[in-house]
Amino acid sequence: MIASPINGPMSESLMGVLETLPNPGIAGDACPRRTKVELDLMLLAIEAIESSSSEQILELAKELNLDDVIKNRIVLWRMRSTNPMRRAHTRRNLSIKEAKALSAIGCRLASRLTVTIRQLLLAQQQLSVKQIPPECNFRLSEYLDRFRAHFRSRMNPRRTKVAIYQDDDELNQLAISLLCKLLFCTGTLGTQRLWMSLFDGEVK
């Protein structure tokens, strides 16, 4: 599936991105567990839709002047490995600035994939109403197959939170729910909406 061209107009600078996303009001600079998990899974879903998204993340980091936060592929991998569900989980913290950068880039990629995301969700809804399995729609089936493969290759099956997704149907439901979250990220103020949702229940 082909995303929109990578060289579209970019109006956000580093300060612009950071300033439009308010500090969440939590103690310290380390993101809570749920924030790390949801950001990584959101990017995993984008990868299942668009196979070149990893390269686009790095390109967008440069275009949005966020390459001092996401310097290269290794730094990106380390940031995503803060997700405790991953096989290669690292105990380093994901900082608020890093989470803001991932949120901004993830939402920009989701916006470029809006048409595809809507088509996949529409296909899922139509099949569900008719009680037809998702395998009957090629594009939806392809997305679900890729998501399950990505999830199983990167997440640690010994983790309790991962073990509940051993069944294909459970993983398919997760993949569909992530499409809904990605659609939530598109449009005006999509990045801000996502950012606030990542800390629901965390602010005391």
Please give the full DSSP string across 153-188, using - where no structure is assigned: HHB-TTSHHHHTT-SHHHHHHHHHHHHHHHHHHSST
What pLDDT sits at residue 3? 38
192 neighbors 20 (Cβ within 8 angstroms): yes
d(CA 143, CA 49): 6
Q: What are phi and psi of 30, to 5 degrees?
A: -95, 130
Is 7 contained in some domain? no
- Helix, strand, or coil here: 131? coil
What pLDDT sits at residue 189? 86
Is 92 contained in some domain? yes
Is 177 contained in some domain? yes
What pLDDT sits at residue 16? 66
Is 131 contained in some domain? yes
Domain that holds residue 132: 32-197
Q: What are the beta bridge partners of residue 86?
A: 155
Q: Which amino acid is at 173?
A: Q
Largest CA distance in the chain: 49
Is 9 contained in some domain? no
Report pLDDT digits (tens) over 97-122: 999 999 999 999 999 999 999 999 99
Q: What are the beta bridge partners of residue 95?
A: 30
Q: What are phi and psi of 71, to 5 degrees?
A: -75, -35
Is 123 contained in some domain? yes
What pLDDT sits at residue 2? 34
Q: For the purposes of burial, counting CB atoms within 10 Å of the CB of 153, is it exposed (0-12), middle (13-18) or buried (19 or more)?
A: exposed
What pLDDT sits at residue 112? 93
Q: What is the pTM of this model?
A: 0.87
What pLDDT sits at residue 9? 36
In the chain, the number of structural domains is 1
Low pLDDT (below 50) residues in the chain: 1-14, 204
